[in-house]
Structure 1
């Protein structure tokens, strides 16, 4: 064999080795790059809290959205390989998915395969009026506003409660929802929750209460809710109102007067307001008002159904969030002079 041939073969051998090394290096680099993609976090920022996957979208569409949002710079190939590796290829569900700091591509793919869509929370606050509830619903993020243009009567009909006054009918609680849910969905759930709670608690009530129906209990609970936020006072205040009802005394509670004033209330209640008759003025009308005046929470409802026993018929706010209670009018007048008129003796 000539030296030329031997030299040629040697050169080709070297080239072959170099090619193999290059291929091996490329494969090695590709594998390392893929591993960096798999284990590295997505570039999530406050401007990209979620990705919204529409119906009919495929993985390429999802990757395109993520790239447009600068959440990833990686093309569809690595995403497709990872989806196959995780056995989720072709199983991704439409919906809105949370993007959280530290989340990896695999985390997102597994969430999409499980349909683990982003949930938001809406809280009905104890003591809200129905007007305040509607205002809060109108501001809820990603909540469809199907009831925003309905009046109260039409809205109640839409949730299956035709003819009911809406005030007090919705249980203060936190309700989870997803994109696509509507304000009516939350109201429907809160209405059902309040109905179930009353159905459960009403049969367990104390005997001989001056309350004829669960709705009466709801009305009384709403007054208790507005009078105090203190757990240690709810049953005691409920006891005062129960004894006043049993004795056929006027309830004389300011929150009902304020509710009856509606938009005329500007932050202060005057003596003339106490003598101006409305259906909710418990200084001019006996018994309970015609409807609740707020959304009472479970503790207020339980207080109305299990009021504290005793002889107290009056209470006065002390100005620090607590009240002072009394059993006689003379004692009550002294408390009024002390805590409201600042004429303590």
Structure 2
């Protein structure tokens, strides 16, 4: 009887130990795989192209990405992450567990960059924005944007290549190669220039590239989208009459001085093909990245007889338009007087 009780006690102890060990193992497995594990307040964790697992694990620990790096490392080995890690931009959230985090890096399930751009003046501005949003640096992107052969490959030249990039929002993976990103913009450009837009450009006796150059001038002049078709109509009138465009934004671009607030006679003398006070027709390329609104304003321009315009003296950003020099000079004197009153000399 005593032996029986002793054996029964031993069995109970063993059973208790099994339960404890089982619960411990279950708790450990839960913490390692299923419990929320992210400690960082960062929105994303980046795995660089060519980066090995040891480097990634060290950064996860050094940057405080997870609460328990040891448990993360244990789970990562069991899930074979060391041999299968993929570069990318991975979303972090406080409810994310190791299993999902590791699974994302193992499968390359990253979040795309919602890349939006507009109101860019120079290629350097665009390259900088690209470098801040994607893995490759700005110098790499600028090298592509300034490469004549790259421009030629897409059917452009160094002057008008900038018009291939249509401002919009694009979903692109962070570690996409720079050339592939340029390819994406080329495809979007081809989609944008559909048959309807091409037909409207042809009706103006302009190519899509020329429309974009004119649109960049319209954008440079217009502070308000609703005035763009009227401004576009004015410049089209000048082109059709063989007149100099005499667009102040082209002079500012030609002088490479974007601090100019008042275009003076000395600015007009520069010998530069972008100076439309000296050179007839359109400049060789866009003076800034044209917007969709400015391109469509050219294609759907407002028909009128205006060939002159001057900013309104109320500084509203709108313009006074004129069909003759006399009326234009009246408008110009009003604006020059307003500039003087505000002590805007340059």
TM-score range (shorter-chain normalised) is: 0.7 to 0.9
1:218 lines up with 2:212 in the alignment? yes
Q: What's the RMSD between the two structures over aligned residues?
A: 3.7
Partner SS, residue 190 of structure 1: helix
Measure, in 1, the Cα distance between the counterparts of 2:270 and 2:52: 63
- Partner residue of 1:136? 129
Bigger shift: 246-255 or 175-184?
A: 175-184
- Partner residue of 2:252? 258
Q: What is the number of equivalent residue pairs in this alignment?
A: 331
User: For the Cα contact (< 8 Å) 1:97–1:111, is it kept in 2?
Assistant: no
- 1:70-97 alpha-carbon deviations (Å, 9 max, x no partner): 414215555677x5xxxx9999552224
Instruction: State the Cα distance separating 1:43 from its structure 2 match.
Output: 2.4
- Aligned pair partner of 2:19 in 21, 24, 29: 24
- Partner residue of 1:194? 189
- TM-score (structure 1 length as normaliser): 0.78
Instruction: State the Cα distance separating 1:304 from its structure 2 match.
Output: 1.0
User: For the Cα contact (< 8 Å) 2:198–2:208, is it kept in 1?
Assistant: no
- Aligned pair partner of 1:270 in 243, 264, 275: 264
Measure, in 2, the Cα distance between the counterparts of 1:160 and 1:244: 30
1:98 lines up with 2:93 in the alignment? no
- Partner residue of 1:116? 109
- 1:260-289 alpha-carbon deviations (Å, 9 max, x no partner): 123x55534322112444212222232222
- 1:146-169 alpha-carbon deviations (Å, 9 max, x no partner): 454568244635854474532423
Instruction: State the Cα distance separating 1:232 from its structure 2 match.
Output: 0.7
User: For the Cα contact (< 8 Å) 1:201–1:302, is it kept in 2?
Assistant: no
- Partner residue of 1:239? 233
Structure 2: stretches of 5+ with no match in the other structure: 341-346
- Partner residue of 2:343? none
- TM-score (structure 2 length as normaliser): 0.78
Instruction: State the Cα distance separating 1:253 from its structure 2 match.
Output: 0.8
- 1:220-255 alpha-carbon deviations (Å, 9 max, x no partner): 111112112422111111011112222333221101
User: For the Cα contact (< 8 Å) 1:57–1:94, is it kept in 2?
Assistant: no
Larger Rg computed on CA atoms? 1
Higher helix proportion (structure 1 or 2): 2
Structure 1: stretches of 5+ with no match in the other structure: 1-5
Cα–Cα, structure 1 residues 179 and 133, in superposed 2: closer, same or farther, change >3 Å?
A: closer
Q: Which runs of 4+ in 1 moved over 4 A?
A: 36-39, 53-58, 60-70, 75-81, 88-93, 138-141, 147-151, 157-164
